[in-house]
Structure 1
Amino acid sequence: MYIAAVILSALLALASLAAGAPKAQLKGRVPDELVAKGLGPGLVRLTGLAEVAAAAGLVAGIWWQPVGIAAAAGLLVVMLGAVRYHAKWGDYADTEARGAASAPVLFALVAVAAAATLAASQ
């Protein structure tokens, strides 16, 4: 179980870092689209910083499981907000919304990673 938790945490950390870094820097297509849909630049940057921090926490959680579990819980909150945001804007019904489908998938994977890390730490 520990090896599965480590692999999943590392992959989720990479995904979280890749998603969060452009938002934290307010550079790229995704932050521009989020601001155009009404999110303030400060909230976009905060979301990006939360995703980057979650990536760091997931990696640190490989060695200290409580940090990984806390990072996964924080990332679950961020992903829940992303799912709610995309649902509000109707992105799940829109075939042009490319990144919208990743939020529920990442939410599920983060939940599995948190459960696996919790099981491996006992």
Structure 2
Amino acid sequence: MFIAYAIVATLMSAVLLASAGAKFTRPKRLVDQMSTVGLPFGMLPFLGMAQIAGAGGLIIGLWWGPLGIAAALGLTLYFIGAGRRTSACQ
């Protein structure tokens, strides 16, 4: 089970870090998406930092389980909030 967690945590962390990088560089595609759902641009750095914290928590969770659990719960809430925000705008 640990190997499965390590693989998922590593892949998820890589995706989260790539997504966080986009939040800081603000490519046109991302800016268009954020304006479509009505998200203020001032929230992008906060969202990027939340993703970086989640990625770090997942990786550190390989050595300290409680932090990995907290990071997984936080990221779950992050993505639930993102899903509700986008579904409310459709």
Query: Which TM-score band applies after superposition, normalised by the shorter structure?
Result: 0.7 to 0.9
Paired position in structure 2 for 1:8: 8
Aligned partner letter, 2:32:
E
| Aligned mates of 1:62, 1:42 — CA distance in 2 | 33
Q: Is the 8 A contact 1:20 1:48 kept in 2?
A: yes
Q: Pairwise CA RMSD of aligned residues?
A: 1.4
Aligned partner letter, 2:84:
R
1:33 aligns with 2:32: yes
Map 1:78-97 → 2, pairs under 5 A: 78-90=78-90
Paired position in structure 1 for 2:48: 48
Residue correspondences, number: 88
Q: Is the 8 A contact 1:16 1:51 kept in 2?
A: yes
Deviations 1:13-67 (A, max 9, x none): 11111112211x152121x124423211222221111011101111111111111
The unaligned stretches of length 5 or more in structure 1 are: 91-122
The unaligned stretches of length 5 or more in structure 2 are: none
| Aligned mates of 2:88, 2:77 — CA distance in 1 | 16
TM-score with structure 2 setting the length: 0.86
| Aligned mates of 1:74, 1:11 — CA distance in 2 | 17
The runs of 4+ residues in structure 1 deviating greater than 2 Å are none
TM-score with structure 1 setting the length: 0.65
Percent of aligned positions that are identical: 36
Q: Is the 8 A contact 1:26 1:45 kept in 2?
A: no
